[in-house]
């Protein structure tokens, strides 16, 4: 126990998916602090491994090269010995292989956001090479919604909610389905 904080263990990897601006990384960080579980952001992991920002990878090598790195990282982390809470990039569902991993190798939670709210939440759009204007973001989201829904075990509506409220909802949903359990020490 850390103070009087209850600590939890993950019984299986948890993948947070959803469009850019859904709050995947912030919610993963918040839940990790609240429950004492290990979390990792897939984009940050790729950036550390490559020694470059995601925007530089897109600019220098193109989207296909980024997608290959993304699949490699997901494959590797999904098999990690200790299950992790992994926040994924918004385009993770585009690849059929990634969708298979998300369906078969853990619990996948879809954080639902609409394009307008996503645009308001993303302060630095230069870090998102695929978030251009609102119209194209809406179209991209519409294409992806069926893919997010296809792989999701659970979904959480995030509109109008703050990071803490979403993280609490996620905690309840993971506890309810036995994906996180109180740690017995
Ligand atoms: C992408 C989303 C980004 C990042 C990359 C591509 C996408 O992650 O992986 O820019 O295709 O939607 P976030 O969803 O964390 O912004």
Place of tokens 């939890």: 8
- Cα of first residue to Cα of last residue in the chain, in angstroms, is 8
Q: What angle do CA 136, 29, 50 make, to 5 degrees?
A: 65
Ligand 1 pocket mutation pick from 19, 89, 142 by most atoms within 8 angstroms of CB: 89
d(CA 155, CA 87): 14
| Crossing angle of helices 63-78 and 96-104, rounded to 10° | 20
Q: What is the pTM of this model?
A: 0.96
Give the sign of the dihedral formed by CA 36, CA 22, CA 51, CA 79: positive
Residue nearest to atom 12 of ligand 1 (CA): 90
Q: Residue 41 is encoded by which pair of tokens?
A: 């952001």
Position in ligand 1 atom list of the atom nearest CA 25: 15
How much distance in Å is there from the Cα of 141 to the middle of ligand 1? Answer: 12
pLDDT per residue of the chain (185 residues) written in tens, 0 to 9:
455 688 999 999 999 999 999 999 999 999 999 999 999 999 999 999 999 999 999 999 999 999 999 999 999 999 988 999 999 999 999 999 999 999 999 999 999 999 999 999 988 888 898 988 899 999 999 999 999 999 999 999 999 999 999 999 999 999 999 999 999 76
154 phi, psi to nearest 5 deg = -145, 155
Position in ligand 1 atom list of the atom nearest CA 91: 11
């Amino acid at each position: 126990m850390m103070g009087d904080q209850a600590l939890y263990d993950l019984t299986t990897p948890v993948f947070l998916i959803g469009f850019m601006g859904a709050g995947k990384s912030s919610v993963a960080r918040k839940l990790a602090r609240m429950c004492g579980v290990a979390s990792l952001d897939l984009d940050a992991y790729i950036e550390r491994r490559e020694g470059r920002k995601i925007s530089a990878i897109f600019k220098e090598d193109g989207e296909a090269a980024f997608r290959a790195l993304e699949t490699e990282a997901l494959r590797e982390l999904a098999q990690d010995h200790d299950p992790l809470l992994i926040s994924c990039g918004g385009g993770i569902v585009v690849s059929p292989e990634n969708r298979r991993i998300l369906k078969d190798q853990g619990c996948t939670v879809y954080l639902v956001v609409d394009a307008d709210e996503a645009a308001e939440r993303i302060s630095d759009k230069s870090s998102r090479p695929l978030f251009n204007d609102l119209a194209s973001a809406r179209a991209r989201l519409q294409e992806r919604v069926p893919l997010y829904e296809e792989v999701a075990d659970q979904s959480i509506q995030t509109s109008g909610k703050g990071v803490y409220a979403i993280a609490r909802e996620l905690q309840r949903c993971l506890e309810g389905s036995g994906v996180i359990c109180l740690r017995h020490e």
